[in-house]
Amino acid sequence: MTIMKAWPKATVSMMAASMVLACEQNPVRVESVSVTRPVIGNAATSVKVAASGSFNQTAITSLDVQTAGGNTILDQTSVGAITGTLTGHFEDDLKVVIHPNGKFNAQFTITCTCTVDGKFGVLEMAAGDTGELVSPTLAVFAGRAVIKGGTGDLSGLRGVLRIEGTVDVTTGLATYGYTGDIHFEP
């Protein structure tokens, strides 16, 4: 029997009372009770796996700079390599808003042609971060990337990754690590 943790105590108590009454009328031996979250689909394909590695932008392929209300707005496309649990090459399309105080926020999509656990495909991620300039040549940031799906053998891959890294302000290129959990949906 599986009981979901999110169920109200009253529901669990009513289920227990029903089981006791049913056992008095028709005795049943219970070997074990597991109190876990239910697994949707095949348990073998729904297991979460720790993921870690890094993104390393190697080139900016397009850049548009605008200003509005004292803010600098960058629309940028970059390419690079991803290593670790996810391995391959990526392209990211990002919009960065840099505020007059040196703080910034970014929203971007990452398209990764990569391999995960020997499976190949193209992943789509939505990401966002916030950061700040810490010196004339260096900015730091942190945020998250959500794996929204993919193609090929990676079509069922999902996950949430925490990202944290730096931007070399002189080149505009970022290097950032990722950690999180990934899993394959059926």
pLDDT for the residue 28: 42
Copy the structure tokens of residue 121: 């495909």
pTM for the whole structure: 0.74
CA–CA gap between residue 49 and residue 127 (Å, rounded):
20
pLDDT for the residue 33: 38
CA–CA gap between residue 115 and residue 154 (Å, rounded):
8
By three-state DSSP, how is residue 74 classified? strand
Q: Which listed CATH number (2.40.350.10, 3.40.190.10, 1.10.10.10, 3.90.15.10) goes with 44-184?
A: 2.40.350.10
pLDDT for the residue 49: 93
pLDDT for the residue 11: 35
Q: CA 19 from chain center: how many Å?
A: 41
DSSP state of 2: B
Query: Nearest 5°: phi and psi at 70?
Result: 85, -10
Q: Where are the domains of the chain?
A: 9-38, 44-184
pLDDT for the residue 22: 41
Mean pLDDT for back-to-back runs of 10 residues, the chain (186 residues): 38 36 42 39 66 98 96 97 98 97 97 96 98 96 96 95 97 97 90
- HSE-up (13 A, CA, CB side) for residue 152: 12
CA dihedral 145, 150, 152, 156 (to 10 degrees): 90
CA–CA gap between residue 129 and residue 104 (Å, rounded):
8
pLDDT for the residue 186: 78
pLDDT for the residue 178: 98
